[in-house]
Structure 1
Amino acid sequence: MKNFKNFTLALTALILLNSCSSDEAPSAAAEGTTQINFDSKVGTADFALNTPFAISGQSYQFDHLRYWVSDVKLVSDKNETYALSNSFFLIEETTEIKVQEGKYTYPAQKREAVELKDVPSGSYTKLIFSVGVDALHNDNMSIQDGELSQLNGMTNISWMWHTSYIFSSLTGKNMTPQTPVAIAVETGLNTNYRTVEITLPTALVVSAGRSSKINLNVDVEKIVKDIDLVASPKVSAKTPELMAKVADNYKNTVFTVKSVE
């Protein structure tokens, strides 16, 4: 009888173990990885630093392009939304930047990809993300989720009574005049936080063991669409209407789908 009881207990434990394993397996198998690539262009030409580009009859050379991508979401064909928590990614191509009055040097960087992990398996038809930093984090820089940091050179003390984030920044020079003119096109402030919604031309299929991708074109020329950089080489909080127009450009025209893999 004792041996029978021991056998019964062992069999019960084995059944419970197998049951737990069976419950956990589908969850792990139901998730995949997706990459979003932000491929910078000027029109149809590849974007590059310190390279001349013709925009609106002027020749420009840029030394950095930087913007925050945040609150990333995918919407499925069943109208279910996958939201990536604490998603703050700094997309950038930049030379080195002096930070905190030169006390710290942010190194030259090129970063064009965002990886989304543990995405539920499914067929996704829409990509949603924001350009900038939401009011909660922008008004309280002690909350540093994702890649938010005061040491990356994307903060500004002149826009508000407290320090806040720069949402996007494009800087360089207009090389057309005999003496080159510095340009800086920046957005910031809570009113210029913009959400981009992109309907994918073909569904993004996510499954375990399969790497999927959304490749976006980012047209730098369209960042400054309807902005006269000769008359206004500096776009900042001192030019609120122009800053709002740049923010709208990011929302409406800058990003287009190159391909879905």
Structure 2
Amino acid sequence: MKGPLCPKNTMMKKFLTIISLITLLFASCSKEEIVPETELKQAAGTLSLNFDAIYGSQDFALNKAFDYELTSSSGNAKFTYEFTKLRYWVSNVILVTKDGNEYKVPDSYYLIEENTAQPIQGGSFNKVYPANKRENVIIRDIPFGEYKTVKFSIGVDSRYNDNLTLRAGELSALTAMANDDWMWFTSYIFTSTAGKITWVKSAPEAAVSKNFTFETGSNAQFKQKTIELINPISIGGDYTSKIDLTVDAKKILDLEAPFTDNIIGATKPALMTRLTDNVISKAISFKSAEGIKK
């Protein structure tokens, strides 16, 4: 039997049609599954965010006497500061591309510090937080792109500050950066600078020293810092990327009467606000940034 109704011809056409569909299906799958290696590398990148502590034109160091001259309406006074700690929380990091798109780093809570051993909650835990120095934050899994701005906050946002049982990033009450008498409830200490202040008078034997502790906390002191890069940097799997900032401890000390107000905390909210402004507006500044192709 011949003609268009021939079973053999019909079966052959169906068979060829099925083969063609299978070929197209495999070709389509192959195109979707084969991704160039360069694209895989660019799926995400890593940024090193560095906070270099300094004191004026000098490197910052613990247990070293740094000169400080205060000029006020009362005249001039000379002091020296010797630090036992410089600590602060960096949180809620946001990276902004040159096109204005924001990437909010999840669970970004980092403790930047240079400190001697510290009793936890004034010793109430009968434990000591060890001496440590940490100026660097490594942020991973950043979407590939060219970034022009980094934003971050100093302190801990109210969600976690009001409930120390919640965990995110490096947050913990056992870092000696929490207090149970901030505004009569337990919360994080946002910044903590402490050591010894000496009033240097004309006669060396007349010099007088005191311990000082300058701390900030409470939700009202949670502030954001914005750093604009001079030029956008690339972040991606094919790049080594970093942003370097400086943190000038000398500018944190900009107070009217540091020898009198040598203890600043929750009972002095106006001075806490002054310290917060010193950190955000004066102490932290841009140093350099680069994204170099590997």
1:114 equivalenced with 2:149 (yes/no): no
Residue in 2 aligned with 1:209? 238
Could you tell me whether the CA contact under 8 Å between 1:204 and 1:214 is conserved in 2?
A: no
| More deviation, 207-216/223-232 | 223-232
**CA distance, structure 2, for counterparts of residue 26 and residue 202 of structure 1:** 24
1:31 equivalenced with 2:54 (yes/no): no
1:167 equivalenced with 2:167 (yes/no): no
Could you tell me whether the CA contact under 8 Å between 1:67 and 1:168 is conserved in 2?
A: yes
| More deviation, 6-15/219-228 | 6-15
Residues 57-76 of structure 1 correspond to what in structure 2 (within 5 A)? 57-76=78-97
Q: Which amino acid aligns with 1:202?
A: N
Give secondary structure in 2 for the equivalent of 1:58. Answer: strand
The counterpart of 2:56, out of the listed 43, 48, 53, is 43
The number of residues matched between the two structures is 261
Could you tell me whether the CA contact under 8 Å between 2:119 and 2:176 is conserved in 1?
A: yes
Residue in 1 aligned with 2:156? 133
Give secondary structure in 1 for the equivalent of 2:199. Answer: coil
TM-aligned CA deviation for residue 95 of structure 1: 0.7
Residue in 2 aligned with 1:124? 147
Q: Could you say what the CA RMSD is over the residues aligned between the two structures, in angstroms?
A: 2.5
Task: Report the TM-score when normalising by structure 1.
Answer: 0.91
**CA distance, structure 2, for counterparts of residue 151 and residue 53 of structure 1:** 30
1:190 equivalenced with 2:190 (yes/no): no
TM-aligned CA deviation for residue 13 of structure 1: 4.9
Q: Which amino acid aligns with 1:108?
A: A
**CA distance, structure 1, for counterparts of residue 263 and residue 96 of structure 2:** 37
**CA distance, structure 2, for counterparts of residue 203 and residue 11 of structure 1:** 43
Aligned CA distance change for structure 1 residues 227 and 72 (closer, same or farther; 3 Å): farther
TM-aligned CA deviation for residue 97 of structure 1: 1.1
Q: Which amino acid aligns with 1:52?
A: A
Residue in 1 aligned with 2:253? 224
Give secondary structure in 2 for the equivalent of 1:232. Answer: coil
Aligned CA distance change for structure 1 residues 211 and 185 (closer, same or farther; 3 Å): same
Q: Which amino acid aligns with 1:87?
A: S
| Structure 2 gap segments, 5+ residues each | 1-13, 70-77, 201-206
**CA distance, structure 1, for counterparts of residue 270 and residue 167 of structure 2:** 29
Could you tell me whether the CA contact under 8 Å between 1:141 and 1:164 is conserved in 2?
A: yes
Identity of aligned pairs, percent? 36
Give secondary structure in 1 for the equivalent of 2:261. Answer: coil
Give secondary structure in 2 for the equivalent of 1:86. Answer: coil
**CA distance, structure 2, for counterparts of residue 92 and residue 227 of structure 1:** 26
Could you tell me whether the CA contact under 8 Å between 1:130 and 1:196 is conserved in 2?
A: yes
Could you tell me whether the CA contact under 8 Å between 1:185 and 1:234 is conserved in 2?
A: yes
> What are the Cα deviations for residues 145-165 of structure 1, in whole angstroms up to 9, with x where unaligned?
000001100001111332100
Residue in 2 aligned with 1:155? 178
TM-aligned CA deviation for residue 209 of structure 1: 2.2
| Structure 1 gap segments, 5+ residues each | none
> What are the Cα deviations for residues 114-143 of structure 1, in whole angstroms up to 9, with x where unaligned?
111121222211111000000111001111
1:88 equivalenced with 2:109 (yes/no): yes
